[in-house]
Every structure is written in structure tokens, then in C-alpha cells.
Structure 1
């Protein structure tokens, strides 16, 4: 017996087994049609006296991989998933869920409501709702503790991590791992129930051992590590209710879920989710990428060794080039250390690490060894003359069709490409340090870069598990151009009376992991110093220039790597560097500035307004395709607090009119720096938002 075959959920009867098959490609998302279909199919199976066991599974490559993102932000339609799941659990006939591929969020909650859970090898389960600013709202916070206890449930729910089948079985989230075709496994498990070989029960009937110690410890941990976030704390509150009556727990879970839905953080996290996906929509998206089977990396320093590590971890053989044997040894050792860390984190086995170092990594001081590489990434010091020289050599050495990429953070990719006879093969691939860890890759498209080369840059990012964002050519591209502008606002506040520690604390309270001065110390103050010296001849005389950081660098204090910068670094927590503060006082005195007080709110307002102002100009200049691309750059490359969605999303929460008001007020003191971008002025006048801006056609 089969009901309508074109439905997204269909019921098939095979002897006494009712197969409820979810067929909503590509990932069987729990859309309204799926929820309605599950309700109807289960009701039909319940009413069929010839069916004694019901098995739910997904057609295609996965079970229910999560919510339907097309329904995000829309009014919910009944039946809601909690209603569906409560119906599954209340079924008088046993309901078995056969999980395969991914069973995430609401999909896994369907499994939790079933009377037994079977997983195919390789299945991943999880409740990632916290990463979108909500909590599992269809029974997850109540049923998971009943299966695995409060401590393990807290770890799973507040982290949102995925769990493989083997770990899920060990924890008790699933009952068995069974190999085979999903349909065959479904029929086999139905027979196992009839034979008494597979036990079934209602998860809601299980008791939870109270554990106040675990709940208090998790609450304290979140106060330290996620104090800015809303939903993780609500997850703890919901899990704490699992020791009581299921119905009351589910009711309160839903109330807490709706509180999360109404939180501004949820909107920011949903925006971040979509921004990551939107970045892949580029004009060259329909162009087939080129095959990249081997990579050359020039430069074995921090960036070069990190890029080499990222490529090796993605299964690409790498030839690493340095100038001297000593530098090459250091580069090779850095790659080996990075791979050792991957082993320590469980990302790589020791045998795989040994194989990579012996078979996939080639170390050389001869650039001619790059002759057969499909892609060469230059990652040497940020010096235009050096980079031009390297590209002239690569033009002679590399095979026709090889992609020549520069990892420059600021420099003109057009000028670098002009040193070759193959400008269409040249592109910027701006990795972020540490390159094997940071997820952002700015793909910088020069004037003559070919579409298939751009498409290959995005394909490489996907292979490296990075988020690629398309950028045009300007000094600093998207991220560093905006960073340089808002750092001026930071320096101006430092000169005018705020301390480095107050500025850092204000922005960390806003949600950044580290404030700008702590970040500068971490990156190395000498890096930004070199950029300032490079740009000094072009600096307009009317621009206000703050030399505090220059003077600190002149003392040889470059931050963490020298033990001192804006902070002092020793065995304990960094503390303010009194000598750096003395330099600040001297510079204020020399400039005849009487320090004034800044509130933390004003510090955040000035920094965010500066960032948004320059980001708007980046859009006006066509350097970024869309506002959400700017958000993606700062979310994945600069540690912008994800729950705030990115600078452009934050701009919409402030409002264009308020941003213009701020700029005009501050321009009375510094008209050169504070200028209203025309696009922002027009938005303030017309009431527009960045969220409403359509994707720009690349010109």
C-alpha cells in the first residue's frame, strides 16, 4: 500500500511494516509540507490495522538535515514540529527512526521522539540551534537529558556540535549502528522489534538524575566564555527542567524558544548564516573552475607555512619555497608543528601526519621546482618590489595555464599582475593568520583576471573549508581598508583621553574577543608600522596623524613576540605597559591636548560608525559586491561578534539617520575624517537599509 507518490512524505506498507519516507530534496528539510506529511502519514499508519511497526527514514542522501531555511523569519504554520514529535512519541504502535547522512536540529528531534533510533555508519547527529541564536524547541532539551544525562546533554546542546554515529552510540543517543541500504535497514529493524531483538520505549518516560553541580558549572562557564550571548544560557535553563514532568518541560522549552526568537541576537546570527552562503553568489559562479592538483607556496614564514598547512590538510601536495636553507628549515618545522596541532585536536592521525610530511610536502630553495604546479601562492613580506620580482620569475617558470596568486594584504594586484605576460592568470588570495585556522579568504579580482581563475579561487576556498569573499582591487581590499579607517578613530580617542585598556574593554564588552590594542599586540605592531611607513608619502597634509604606535615600535616593542607593546606579557595575564602609557602622555602634551573622558558607549559608537562609514564607501566603489559580503569578511576574518551579524547588519539596527547625525556632529571637530558617504546620506533621507540593497552587478 502506498499513498500519493508525489508527496514529500509518503507511506508505504510492506507486509506489516509501515514505511514513512521523507522525500524533500535536497536535504529533506523539515518544511511545513514535511511536518504536515509526517502528521498525515503517521495517522494513516495508526489507522491501518495491518501495520504493527512504523519506520521513518529519508529518501536520498540524508535524514532530516534541519529546518527549511526558506521559512526563517516567516510566521510559523501548523503543525509545528513539537506537535509532530509529541504525536510520534504518543503513538501506540512503535515508531523507529533510521538515521543516515545528517540528522540535525529538528530532524534529530524527530528521532528523539521516536521509540528507537538506528543509524547507518557515517551518520552525524546534533542540535546546532544555539549557533542560530535559539535553542532546540521541539523537545531536544527535554529528551536528550533523558537519554544521556544532564552533563552530556549540556555539552551537546550549548555547543551545537555534530556527533558521529560511534560517539552517539556510546553516549546512548542511538540504539544501534546498522550497515546497508536505508530501506533494507528499515525493514530489518521492524522485524527486530517483532522478534524482541530491538527494545522500544518512549523517551519521555525515562527519568533524569538531577545534577545541580553540572548545571551550575555550565552556567559559570558560559558567564566566562559567552557572557554576551543569550541562547546558551536559555539552553541551560531549559535542560534544568528535564528532571520534572515532560509536558511541563516541553511547555517551558517552547516559551524559552520564543524568547530566543524575539532576541536581536537571533536576527544577527540568522543574518550571519545567510551572509556566509550569499558570498558564493558571484558573477563567475557559472564558470567551471580549473583543476588544482598541486600547489606551490613561496615563503615559509607564518603566513606561508599556514597556507601550506591548509592545503596539505585538504589533500593537496605542496612545494614550499624559501630563499635559504635555514629559512626553509624553519618553514618546514612550522608546517610540521601545525600538523602536530591538528593531530592533537583530533583532525589528523599521527600516521596521516607522517605520510603528509614524507610524501605530500616538498621543501626547496629552487623556484624552478614550481614549473609543474597548478597554482602558486606567493606569501612573502609585504614589499611591492619583492613581489614584482617574484612574479616576473614565475611568469618564466610556471607552465601555461598555471594560476599565479599573491597573498598580499594591501598591495595593488593589478600592478603585480602587470609584471607578467599572463595577467588573466593572476589573482589575489588573501589568507588570514593563522591561515590554516582562520576561515576567511578574500579572493581579490584584478582588472584582467579570467572568470575561470576567479571560480577556481572559490573552489579552492571550499576545498580548504574556508569562506571566500570576492573583492576588488584597492589598498587593503575590503577588510584591511575598513580596518585602517576605524583604527584611526581608535587612535584619535587614545590621543584625546581614552586609555588602551578602556577602549579594549569597551569593545570586548560589545562582543569582540579582543580589543584593537590587544589584537595589534597579538599580530605584531611592526606589521602595521610597515604599512604606515609605506603609505606615509601619500598621506594628505590635512589628515590628523597619531604617532603613538610608531614611537612604541621605535623602542623595539612589537607586542607579544617581544614581550611588550601596549601591554606587558609574562607568565600571567597581560597588564598595561606603563612605558607605553608614558609615550601616550608625552604625545598628548606635545600636541597640547587636554585629555577628556569617553564613555564606553561613545567608544563603541565611534568605532562602529567609522567602520560602517568606510564600509559604505567600499560599496560605493564597487570593491564589495553586497553589504553581506562585508559582514562575512568581518565575521570570519576579524572576530566581529557573530551575534551582531556584522557591521552592515549592525548599521541597520542603529539606522542610517542616526549614523548620519553622529558623523555630522563629530565632523565639527574633525571635518577631514568624519564625512558622510553619499550612499548613507541617501539611505537616511529615503529610509532605506543595507538589508534591502540588492546584489550589485560587478562592473
Structure 2
């Protein structure tokens, strides 16, 4: 006899003595309060029903629960909390089978771990990624996993946050069976067999396979404790402590320890910033042009320019399955570009990232030519030639003559005025900026720059294409440097002022690395090439206000031919044997400039260096918001995190300003405004937000 009862999010059905409980909370079956309540009630009902001999817990749609509802983080939890649901499942006197498909992540995996038996469909991925949000598993994961796997595999799962395949999970003992197709059907059949055979529950809390070698367990804990000490997120050390308690404490005490550790980490600044970054990335995809948009079809792509950037863009498009026509002005340059692409795939094959057949298939989609007319049938052209306005104007004119009507012309410019470029051709509505970041096939950020006449459908198509290219798109308006490079310029200028006033390049770089950047601003300049920013400064020289403070140190270095890493010398001397060391001749140049300007050098603490750089970035971000170049503060944060190495656990410059306090940031800007009023004057947006008791994060809604 079958009996079915339904709620909005959890269904309950009994068939042949099996209670089938299904979670149905699309798109990812997140374990929000209502789902937890429904699951708790359904499990209790199954336990109380004398006609039920076994329980199956599964999920509708594309996946088993892929985690908690992140929107609940940082807020009081409605009961039952996840650990209470897990405890109820595990305490069942009737065997409980988890039917897992898609992804079982975080709380979803912890629900499965609380079940007595686990069957996963082929292709399922399982993991505990809580560390990426600055927290730790809070539903018993730190106590149940090591009881099965030992400390080593458990800590690797939790400390990396990377999911494992069903096959790997089965090898570790985390699942019992892999179903080739219908996991729900396999779990139901298993439940019926368990009823027939009188199979008893098997609580994970009572398992001890992973605890059998205390020495190995302890060694793994110490190894990961050393790794945790290098991590900026407190949850890393807490995870190690919790897993250690799985060996040292009774289960219930270990669960209590885990709960306390979770509650300590969840409201912390790192976890708050990481949640902000998580939502900011998703929010950035919501742009006004998507409303009512009709996407233009993109089947074939052209890339003009086969240099480092053009080759990287071509690789991104080839990887996404697009046929690509690569254009260069001469055969020699084209051959170099094609060789770059081939070398990239050869390396990927050698490292096992792709197989030979995949590499060959991608190269087969590439057509190289010096004939611009070959772009007549493509749907989108990405121009990636040298960052010079006249060069790009010439390319635009050629493309205007050969591209079919309705084809999109995207320019990969870092600074140039897209409106001015678009005005030189007959189809300004088809022009958009696609600002890729080098190396373009690796970096995830894509600034989609919207000109005054850009068709909204072209913008929407850019966001759809970014998804296919596995990029994180952010909408930007037209401005010198758009979002990312405009904020970068403020960061570098704040650093340059300190350089002239007494700090050294190495001191500034060390301070920003200590904050969390992978490299400091002068290391980045050397890596990118000092001639690039020098060319921009020369381009802007004619319009520069003579009353503004100008730091010429970078120009003087470039005049020596020291363009950074590629020249073997820049702010640092790049020696293959000894690595980059501070360039003593640059220190001489700095000292001479200080003397020429009559500057008496002073000391800067690490904290002051960080504060000045961060305040400058937040202030420039506020100006971008005032000008409408950025839609929302969180978009600025996404750009800086994904394109410029801003530490994710700090949330980006706007989130960091919120956490430091807007009043404190504004006061710091005011104090420095006497030094350079035009640069340090606080954006009026600070005062407006402070006056109304708001923060930058309050501008992110919508």
C-alpha cells in the first residue's frame, strides 16, 4: 500500500514498507530552515510508523542537497539546525539509506553521512567546501568523516574544499555503492532487501575504521596543523582541532566542540568577507541590459592580434568549443601566435589536464590567416592588438568593411575610450569592450564595457558568452581604466607617494603581501612590464593638471630601458639563480628624486602603508559609483578579487572599507588631503552613507 504526503519542499511516501523522503528545493536543494523542518518531520514520521521498515532519503531535480542556504549565514538559525536533523537521522532504529546524485556538498554531504548507508549515482561529486566560506562543517562532518577515513583524507577533503568523485568516495569508504543510472531505484531496492534480511542500522558515530592507527592519525593532524598556520582564515586551524577531537573525545563531546568552533568562525570578519565575495560574484551577473534581451547568436569567433593576449583569448574560445579565426598582420607574427596556442595545449597534455584527442580537436578548430576578409562570416570579433588608439582605429576601419551586419565588434582595450573608437565606424551599436586579463585563458575576470551606443542585446550576449568561456563578467561604463585599472591606478599612486616620501619598493610590496595580496604593486609592475604603464602616462601627459603632484620615478626607470622582468631589471633585479632582489640603482633614482624635490624621507609602518593603499582604492571605488561607471560596490570587489589579486578573505576594497568603518576611512582621507587635495579628498559618497547610517554593502541590493 502506498501513502503519500506532500509539503512544498519535502515529500513523504511509503511503498512496500519503505519510507521514501525526497527533498525538492530547486535549484540545488539548499538546506534552508523550511527544508530542515520538513526533513526532520518526515524522518520522525517514518520512525514512528510501525509499517515502515527502512527509510530512503533522496532529492528531486539535478542534485542531492548542495549545501546549506548561505543566506542564513551570519544570522540566528531557526530550529531544527542541521546537526539536530543529522542526529535524528543517525539515531533511527530503522536503516536509513541516502540516495545521492549530482553534488552532495557541505550540509548535503553531512545529511548523507548521518544516514547509515550511502548509494551514489555515477558522476556524483561529494565534498565539504565550507572552508571557502570561512567556516567549517557544522553538521557533524568533522566527527563522522575521520571515523571512516582517518585524519589524512578527512582533512584533505575539508582543508582544500575540493569535492571528490563517487569512485574516490567509495574507495575511502564514504559511500557503499555506485549506481550506474537510477540511484533512487537502486536505493529503494536496497531498502527492501534490508527489510527482508533484517539489516540493522549502522550509525556512523559508532564506526572506527579511521581511528585504528592513532600514530598515522596524529601525524596527519600535525601535517595539516602546519598548513593551517599559513592560512589567513581562522576556520582552517579550527577544522584541524575538530578532526583531532574525533580521536580524543567521545562523539557527543566532539560534536559540541565542532558546534562551538563553527559558532566562533561564522560571524568573524574573514567568513563575513568570504560570504560577501560569494554573493558578489553571483550578483555581478545581474545587469539591466538582461531584461527583455534577445541574444545575438555566436557560433564563430574571430580574434585580431596573435600576441600573448590574443593567443590567450583564442585559447579561451577554443576551450569553450568555438571555431576561431586568428588574424595577424604578417605571417611571422601569425606563426608565433599559433605556436603559442599549440605549446599551451602540448603542456596541458603533458600535465594530464587534457588528453591528446582533446588537444587535437581544439587545434583543429583554429584557423590562422593574415587576410582580414576571412572574418566576413564570423559572429563576433575580439580585437586584441597593441594598446594604441590609432592602431585600434585602423583595425576598426578594416573590420567595419568586412564584418557582416549584426556581428559584434569587441575591443580588448585596457584604458582607451570605447565611445571614441565606436564613433569611427558605421555600427557603434555593435561595439562593446571585452577587457580580458592576462593570461586570458586562465584569469576568470571579464570586464564587459558598455559604450553610450552599445545595443543592450550586445551587452546581454557578452554576459552569456562569458558564461560559456567560464569567466566572471562585470559590467563597466566607459572611463579611463574602466573599473579595475582605475582603482589600480589609485592604488599605485598612493604607493608612489609613499615611495617618494620615504618607503622603498620592497617595503611597500611586503606590507601588501602581509595584507594578503599574492604580490605587491611593484612586483606586479615588473611582471607586467613597466613600459605598459609608462605608455599610458605619456598618453595622458598632455591633459595632466600641472598642479597635481606627479611622481616621475617610474618614468626615470623606464628611460634606462629597465622594463621589469622581461628586461631582467626594473624595480627589482631579476636573477634566475637568486630570484628578484631590490634594484640598488632604483633606490639611487628614488633618493635623487627626493633630493630634487626637497623631500625629507620619513618612515612608514606596515599598517600605514596598508591603510593608505586601501583607503585610496575605496575612495576611487566610491568615485566610480558616483560616476555610474560601476553599478554597485560589490562589482568593484569582484573585479579586484578576480582580476587583481585582492585577497578574497578581505572581500574586496569596498567590503574592506565597510569592515574598517566608513567614518574611519573618511577621516583618514581627510587627514591626508593636505598632502594632495585632488587625490585624497574623500568622495561625497562617504559622507552621504555615514549620515544615513549606511555602508557600501547597503548599495548592493537589487
| 8 Å CA contact 1:193, 1:200 repeated in 2 | no
Aligned to 2:605: 599
> Which piece of structure 1 moves more, 122-131 or 61-70?
61-70
User: Are 2:233 and 1:229 equivalent residues in the alignment?
Assistant: yes
Task: Show the counterpart of 2:28.
Answer: 27
Tell me the CA shift for residue 598 of structure 1: 0.6
**SS state of the match for residue 13, structure 1?**
strand
In structure 2, the CA distance between the partners of 1:655 and 1:433, relative to structure 1 (3 Å rule), is same
Of residues 246, 254, 263, the one that matches 1:249 is 254
| Corresponding residue of 1:296 | 302
Corresponding residue for 1:79? Answer: 80
Find out whether 1:685 has 2:691 as its counterpart: yes
1:216, CA displacement in angstroms?
Answer: 1.9
CA contact 2:166–2:178 (8 Å) conserved in 1 = yes
- 2:373 aligns with 368
Give the structure-1-normalised TM-score: 0.96
Q: CA deviation at 1:401?
A: 1.1
Match of 1:55 in 2: 56
State the partner residue of 2:408.
Answer: 403
- Matched with 2:90 is 89
C-alpha distance in structure 2 between counterparts of 1:571 and 1:656, whole Å: 46
User: Is residue 312 from structure 1 mapped to residue 331 from structure 2 by the alignment?
Assistant: no
**Secondary structure of 2:171's partner?**
helix
* Deviation per residue, 1:269-300 (Å, 9 max, x gap): 11111111111111112213222111111111
- Paired with 1:80 and 1:190, the residues of 2 have a C-alpha distance of 27
Q: Residue 203 of structure 1 corresponds to which residue in structure 2?
A: 204
1:83-106 C-alpha deviation (Å, 9 max, x unpaired): 111111111111110111111110
Aligned counterpart in structure 2 of residue 348 of structure 1, from 326, 345, 354: 354
Between the aligned partners of 1:341 and 1:353, the Cα distance in structure 2 is 10
Q: Work out the CA distance in 2 between the residues paired with 1:196 and 1:503.
A: 70
Instruction: Select which of 521, 529, 534 maps to 2:534.
Output: 529
**Matching residue within 663, 672, 676 for 1:670:** 676
- The superposition leaves residues 528-569 of structure 1 with CA deviations (integer Å, 9 ceiling, x where unpaired) of 111111111111101111111112222222222222211222
Write out per-residue CA displacement over residues 14-40 of structure 1, whole angstroms, 9 at most, x where no aligned residue. 102111111122221101111111111
Please, which of 270, 277, 284 is the counterpart of residue 275 of structure 2?
A: 270
The 3 A distance-change label for structure 1 pair 217 and 393 is same
Displacement of 1:347: 4.0
Measured in 2, the distance between the counterparts of 1:555 and 1:561 equals 14
For residue 607 of structure 1, report the CA deviation from its aligned partner: 0.6
Aligned-pair CA distance for 1:197: 12
What is the CA distance between 1:170 and its match in structure 2?
2.6
Give the deviation of 1:425 after TM superposition. Answer: 0.7
* CA distance in structure 1 between the aligned counterparts of 2:198 and 2:487, rounded to whole angstroms: 63
**Residue 258 (1) aligns with residue 263 (2):** yes
- 1:416 and 1:478 mapped to 2: Cα distance? 19
Q: Deviation at 1:340?
A: 3.4
Mapped partners of 1:184, 1:572: distance in 2: 62
Q: In the alignment, is residue 171 of structure 1 matched against residue 176 of structure 2?
A: no
Deviations 1:165-216 (A, max 9, x none): 2222233221111023343222122234356699962221122233222222
Q: How many Å separate the matches in 2 of 1:81 and 1:316?
A: 44
Using the size of structure 2 for normalisation, the TM-score is: 0.96
Instruction: Tell me, yes or no, if structure 1 residue 451 matches structure 2 residue 456.
Output: yes
Q: What's the C-alpha RMSD, in Å, of the aligned pairs? A: 1.7
Deviation at 1:149, TM superposition (A): 1.9
Measured at CA, do residues 321 and 275 of structure 1 come closer, stay the same or move farther in structure 2, by a change above 3 Å?
Answer: same
CA-CA distance at 1:64 after TM superposition: 0.6
How many positions carry a matched residue from both structures? 693
3-state SS of paired residue (2:22): strand
Separation of aligned partners in 1, 2:645 and 2:218? 34
Conservation of the 8 A alpha-carbon contact between 2:74 and 2:267? no
Partner of 1:68: 69
Any conservation in 1 of the 2:64–2:102 contact (CA below 8 Å)? yes
Cα distance in 1, alignment partners of residues 559 and 199 from structure 2:
73
User: Structure 1 residues 383 and 40, CA, compared in 2 at 3 Å: closer, same or farther?
Assistant: same
Residue 242 of structure 2 corresponds to residue 238 of structure 1:
yes
Asked if the contact 1:497/1:595 (under 8 Å) is kept, the reply is: yes
Question: Is residue 388 of structure 1 aligned with residue 393 of structure 2?
Answer: yes
| 1:71 shift after superposition | 2.3
Which SS does the other structure have where 1:98 is aligned? strand
In the alignment, the residues of structure 1 paired with residue 196 and residue 312 of structure 2 have an alpha-carbon distance, to the nearest angstrom, of 56
Select the residue among 521, 524, 535 that pairs with 1:519: 524
Aligned to 2:18: 17
1:590 and 2:596 are equivalent in the alignment: yes
Among 318, 339, 343, the alignment partner of 1:337 is 343
1:616 positional shift: 0.6
Work out the CA distance in 2 between the residues paired with 1:695 and 1:204.
Answer: 43
Deviation at 1:518, TM superposition (A): 1.0
SS of match in other structure, 2:5: coil
SS in 1 for 2:221: helix
Structure 1 residues 573 and 232: CA distance shift in structure 2, 3 A: farther
CA contact (8 A) 2:94 2:201 kept: no
Distance 1:22 1:390 in 2: 55
- Say if 2:312 and 2:440, in contact at 8 Å, map to a contact too: yes
Residues 306 and 338 of structure 1 are in contact (CA less than 8 Å); yes or no, is this contact kept in structure 2?
A: no
DSSP 3-state at the match of 2:290: coil
Is the contact between residue 2 and residue 10 of structure 1 (CA under 8 Å) also seen in structure 2? no
Residues 93 and 201, structure 2, Cα contact 8 Å, conserved in 1: no
* 2:566 counterpart SS class: helix
SS of residue matched to 2:550:
coil
Confirm or deny: 8 A CA contact 1:320 1:361 kept in the other structure. yes
Q: How far does residue 448 in structure 1 lie from its aligned partner after superposition?
A: 0.6
What is the alpha-carbon distance in structure 2 between the residues aligned to residue 153 and residue 547 of structure 1? 54
**Is 1:552 aligned to 2:557, yes or no?**
yes
Q: Which residue of 2 aligns with 1:414?
A: 419
Q: Does 1:131 align with 2:132?
A: yes
Distance 1:195-1:324 versus aligned 2 partners, 3 A rule: farther
Contact between 1:112 and 1:140, CA under 8 Å: does it hold in 2? yes
The separation in 2 between residues aligned to 1:436 and 1:194, in whole angstroms, is: 54
- What is the CA–CA distance in structure 1 between the aligned matches of 2:158 and 2:72, rounded to whole Å? 23
Could you tell me whether the CA contact under 8 Å between 1:189 and 1:198 is conserved in 2? Answer: no
